[in-house]
Amino acid sequence: MIVTETTQGIRITVQARYLDEESKPSEGFFIFSYHIIIENNTPDAVQLLKRHWHIFDSSGEYNQVAGNGVVGEQPIIAPGDEYEYHSYCELTTPIGRMWGTYTFENKSDHRVIEAKIPEFHLEAPFVMN
């Protein structure tokens, strides 16, 4: 499933998938990848400074992940351009969900934009059968 959210001209699209070949269900180890596309639909360049994730699994375990940039980068995205990356998360259950925020700086006026990352579900396909 693909989910999208737009905040102040920053459009974030997420698609997640279960990585069967990397997971070990018998050991309670479930790996999910997610593909993110960040589109800058503002008239100014923006720089992604920080990320903040909320991660839940179906046992009720909750984790937060926060830090500078994404995948080791703090990209500057020109007006009309986009930035894409892939990452992953590990869960102890076959079902979970994630959402969060990215903090951007408008490079023209140094205004901070907190862009919402839409909630997306992490579901191993065998659970849905």
Check: CB of residue 12 under 8 Å from CB of residue 117: yes
Write out the residue range of the structural domain in which residue 19 sits. 2-127
Phi, psi of 20 (to 5 degrees): -60, -45
pLDDT score at 129? 57
Tell me the CATH number at 58: 2.60.40.1470
Looking at the structure of the chain, the number of domains it has is: 1
> For 67-81, how does the pLDDT look when each residue is reduced to its tens digit (9 = 90+)?
999 999 999 999 999
Over residues 31-44, mean pLDDT = 98
Q: Does 58 have pLDDT greater than 60?
A: yes
String of DSSP letters for 16-60 = EEE-TTT-BGGGTBEEEEEEEEEEE-SSS-EEEEEEEEEEEETTS
pLDDT for the residue numbered 34: 98
**pLDDT attached to residue 127:** 82
- Digit-coded pLDDT (tens) for 81-129: 999 999 999 999 999 999 999 999 999 999 999 999 999 999 999 886 5
How much is the pTM? 0.94
